[in-house]
Structure 1
Amino acid sequence: MDGRLKLNYSNYKLVLPYIYLTVVPLIWAGNFIVGKVLIGVLPPFSISAGRFIVGALILGLLLLNLKDRTKLDGILKIKILILGLTGVFAFNSLLYIGLKYTTAINATLINSFSPIVTIYCSWLFLKENIGYKQILGSFFAILGIIIIQSQGSPAVLYNLDFNIGDLIIFLNTFIWAIFTILGKNVMYSLSPMETTTYSTLAGLPFLFLASGWEISHTDIALSWPIAAGILYLGVFATVLAFIWYYKGIQMVGVAKSANFYNLIPVYSIFLAVFFLQEQITPYHITGGFCVMLGIVLSSGNLKLARFFIRK
């Protein structure tokens, strides 16, 4: 034996949830870029409606082909309705609304507190254990994001000007926490795919009403680039990302999963370099290292580290 941990089925199961939770923020980082472009030509609820219509069509077909569908009781239906109202109807739409009133640096910095809110809500409502590794990991992840968003300058943080948009985005972190921890509870009864599908279908009627009002008061000119953007949001940012996110939560829990959300701004930097030819600076490298360190610490899984490192 050459001293390396061989890849077998048990090791595959060990690594798989972390693969899901690493890829999902990359998809959602693309969501921020595509959404930023679309918000210039479409109103916020209409973007969300288009996205989740595409997602619902795909998820509905997958659900119809599922042989053993779980029967929904009254309590489960109420929980799914809340998932639809939070994660499907409210979260992304409110994020776009908040961006109308605040800067991108404020929005990303405030939204980065979502994992912290989620972790402590999971402790409060799901009774998930939070050890010192999760707390320390949260600290380093947030520190990394502050370094990135402040461009390594304390003066940038000192001069931040908070407004109504900042308040909207801060309140949105609690909406994401509700969506995440309630999803964990629902998955005691449903699979990740069923949870994603039913919550999408539950949120669509509310998006139809809101987007219908927007369309009646807005001139919208559709084009192929807009359709391509909506298609990306529906297929990748909705179907794949939500299913994989819930699978990660189901396999390793909310507390460990939450800090992976902090990869979004890190990925956004590299996407900006690739698509917008922006430059990577030392504060990007320092902040990205802190985020990755926070994620490794919060996972608390030494076997996972050994999987990638030779003995």
Structure 2
Amino acid sequence: MSSDHSHLWPGVPLALGSAVLFGASTPLSKLLLGTIDPWLLAGMLYLGAGIGLAIVHRARALVGLDGVEAPLARTDIPWLIAVILFGGVVGPLLLMFGLLQTTAASGSLLLNLEGLATMAIAWLVFRENVDRRLLLGAAAILCGAVLLSWNGAGLSLDRGSLLIAGACLTWGIDNNLTRKLSSADPVQIAMIKGLAAGTTNLVLALSLGASLPPFGLTAGAALVGFLGVGISLVFFMLGLRHLGTARTGAYFSLAPFIGALLSIALFRDAVTPQFLSAGLLMAFGLWLHLAERHDHEHSHEALEHDHTHIHDEHHTHSHDGPVNEPHSHWHRHEPMRHKHPHYPDLHHRHSHR
């Protein structure tokens, strides 16, 4: 934490990596919807994420890395159930049915509303610090989303757009609840979420008459789910750990641009002046978020918790013998006061006047 730019690493690259992976999954899901039932596809994507991360979880244990992250605690279970319901079951269903009724490019850009929902809930409900730059960036993103849905006489929010907006709201709730779990093992959490949500939607879809597609399409859906849902979610949770909810959601706003660009390439969606203007507004909002610098003198209260860490200026405790870094164990932070650039991460959730 001593470098002037250390507050950007690794949270910002992780959040942006999550955005790229999730953004690419939207048009690829649209492509798969031509042959796979939307409810079934929602289940296959999350089940693919869960199975893929289960393999990662097992491989990590085999090479001796299973002690790096803090395991889930019993008190985490209610939060985990909530994020599975909102983010793993309801959100994907709304997105799949919404994509059926709108273009892939428009659907991708409308996903910017997830970042706004995430930020609004973090600010208004959980009282996370949000400054004027973040609010201005959010306003630019919202204007871009409104412009995208303008038909010349008024807003044209068809059923598909409303369903995608509903998915963004459920994921905004999910992202804020996931912050409660951000100190625990992200691979374990994303694995459980994928297996539980994927199995639920898959069973429901099959019971309602859906049929499994050929093996090639099944494998393709599983791969899209592993990268675009599973790995993306792991990166997002790590971003939450370092950046807090509002800022991780802001950086995640890159996802729709990736999805829209890939949609244009895959489906030859028209590049209209309206589309370009909306994209520029959203890009300006994202730039405002990226250019933020939060630096002031602040106090740390005494704190005890368990999470993966290295011995930096926030972790000065001693060990009886040599240890590998990073590592995870229950430890105590003594009170301290200092000044450096920071985000509202695990150790900087202080209040602001």
2:226 aligned residue: 235
Contact preservation (8 Å) 2:194, 2:230: no
Q: Cα offset for 1:181?
A: 0.6
Q: Cα offset for 1:180?
A: 0.2
Q: Which amino acid is the alignment partner of residue 206 of structure 2?
A: G
RMSD: 3.1
Q: Which moved more, 1:39-48 or 1:258-267?
A: 258-267
Q: Which amino acid is the alignment partner of residue 200 of structure 2?
A: F
2:41 aligned residue: 47
> Is it true that 1:113 corresponds to 2:108 in the alignment?
no
Whole-Å separation in 1 of the counterparts to 2:116 and 2:139: 9
Q: Cα offset for 1:285?
A: 4.5
* Structure 2 unmatched runs, 5+: 295-353
Deviations 1:190-242 (A, max 9, x none): 0322332232233244224313314xx13444152x13531332221122211
Contact preservation (8 Å) 1:81, 1:202: no
Q: Any idea what SS the aligned residue of 1:158 has?
A: coil
> Is it true that 1:202 corresponds to 2:196 in the alignment?
yes
- 1:13 and 1:43, CA in 2 relative to 1: closer, same or farther beyond 3 A? same
Deviations 1:234-254 (A, max 9, x none): 221122211111112211111
How do 1:2-81 and structure 2 match up within 5 A? 11=5, 14-64=8-58, 65=61, 66-67=66-67, 70-81=70-81
> Is it true that 1:296 corresponds to 2:287 in the alignment?
yes
Higher relative contact order structure (alpha carbons within 8 Å, sequence separation ≥ 6): 1
- 1:161 and 1:105, CA in 2 relative to 1: closer, same or farther beyond 3 A? farther
> Is it true that 1:264 corresponds to 2:255 in the alignment?
yes
> Is it true that 1:177 corresponds to 2:172 in the alignment?
yes
Q: Report the TM-score when normalising by structure 2.
A: 0.70
Whole-Å separation in 1 of the counterparts to 2:161 and 2:277: 26
Q: Which amino acid is the alignment partner of residue 229 of structure 1?
A: G
Q: Cα offset for 1:56?
A: 1.6
Contact preservation (8 Å) 1:84, 1:201: no
- 1:109 and 1:280, CA in 2 relative to 1: closer, same or farther beyond 3 A? closer
Q: Any idea what SS the aligned residue of 2:35 has?
A: coil
Q: Any idea what SS the aligned residue of 2:130 has?
A: coil
> Is it true that 1:90 corresponds to 2:90 in the alignment?
yes
Q: Report the TM-score when normalising by structure 1.
A: 0.78
Aligned residues: 288
Contact preservation (8 Å) 1:50, 1:234: yes
Q: Any idea what SS the aligned residue of 2:210 has?
A: coil
The structure with the largest alpha-carbon Rg is 2
Q: Any idea what SS the aligned residue of 1:94 has?
A: helix
How do 1:81-160 and structure 2 match up within 5 A? 81-100=81-100, 107=107, 111-147=111-147, 149-150=148-149, 154-156=150-152, 158=154, 160=156
Whole-Å separation in 1 of the counterparts to 2:69 and 2:239: 21
- Looking at secondary structure, tell me which structure has more strand per residue: 2
Contact preservation (8 Å) 2:43, 2:202: yes
Q: Which amino acid is the alignment partner of residue 28 of structure 2?
A: V
Contact preservation (8 Å) 1:25, 1:264: yes
- Looking at secondary structure, tell me which structure has more helix per residue: 1
Contact preservation (8 Å) 1:34, 1:229: no
Q: Cα offset for 1:77?
A: 1.2
Contact preservation (8 Å) 1:187, 1:195: no
Q: Any idea what SS the aligned residue of 1:42 has?
A: coil
Q: Which amino acid is the alignment partner of residue 187 of structure 2?
A: M
* Structure 1 unmatched runs, 5+: 1-7, 304-311
